[in-house]
A = this chain, B = another copy of it.
């Protein structure tokens, strides 16, 4: 029996290894390993002896060594393409907060853990990490983030539709259908001059939304009223809304705020403009913020379904990981319109929205 000596100096941080347990129990490392893992063939006495020795020495298996044997780490990198703000700020957005936590939960349910990577980080940041896959949230068009992972041969999931590169998977919302649903809803509630507030950034999603809006306007003989915010954040959106409503001439009779903002603040801005909601202006916000349900009146929101996207995306990723296929896949999920009082016509009979039918929705208590 060779005397596997304690490596390192005399004061080396002694981490108990399998061989240490084996020597303590008077067994071989093979037997101890099998004993602790509940595999192999051995008498109950020996198994218990091994376990007892491990307990006595406080043995904890080295995770890295196991991973090396296993060949995978069950680790998924998570990085967001984000507006080039200070790193990590994306968590302040309810959409990203939900996407992140839902992704983590879904991945963990499949036995994978999420590794939080810095926003817009390059390969040098994750090259040393044993990643089985990666998730890129909200990438730009032809994002280098995506390229890097593809080049590294790491399977990838993103919440924006990408061209089918090998190993890439995506889930996206049906932007066109969402815009039409909202505009149809507003029109049905009597609105004839709906305006849309969009973020200033140019992404695939926002282009799709803009196109869809213009198409809808064309089809309904309505002049488009499109406003872009000066930047990200509540302040910019509120300012854009104030500008829009303060303008001269006949203002819009409905507002669809597609730029992410706190619904209470948007509602407040409308109120300060002297307009009642929904009497003078119907309001719909694209937002995941739960506070929309607690305003007066509650604000109708369009949910972009980050949780559903995460769920579906992890599903695609797991399927690819298990089959080993690098065939690209993708899926479209529907948005969800949470009808609340802010977009349900409360006008008296004779008003343009007199026929507004009862809201079939969720918390739809009409005003």
Contacts and interface: CB of A to CB of B under 8 A. Distances in A.
A101 B89 contact: yes
Copy number in this complex? 2
Contacts of A296: 268, 272
A117 B125 contact: no
Interface residues of A, number: 61
A135 to B, nearest CB: 11
Contact of A91 (B75, B97, B153): B97
A324 to B, nearest CB: 6
Interface string A255-291: 0000000101100100010000000000000000011
Contacts of A234: 290-291, 294
A270 to B, nearest CB: 12
A129 interface: yes
A97 B68 CA distance: 33
Contact of A98 (B63, B92, B115, B125): B92
- Residue picked from A60, A64, A233, most chain B C-beta under 10 Å: A64
A265 B264 contact: yes
A224 interface: no
A241 B295 CA distance: 14
A295 B263 CA distance: 12
8 contacts: A13-B324, A60-B153, A65-B68, A68-B68, A108-B125, A116-B116, A233-B290, A234-B291
Interface of A: 13, 58, 60-68, 73-75, 78, 87-92, 94, 97-98, 100-102, 104-105, 108, 113-118, 125-131, 152-153, 233-235, 238, 262, 264-265, 268, 272, 290-291, 293-296, 324
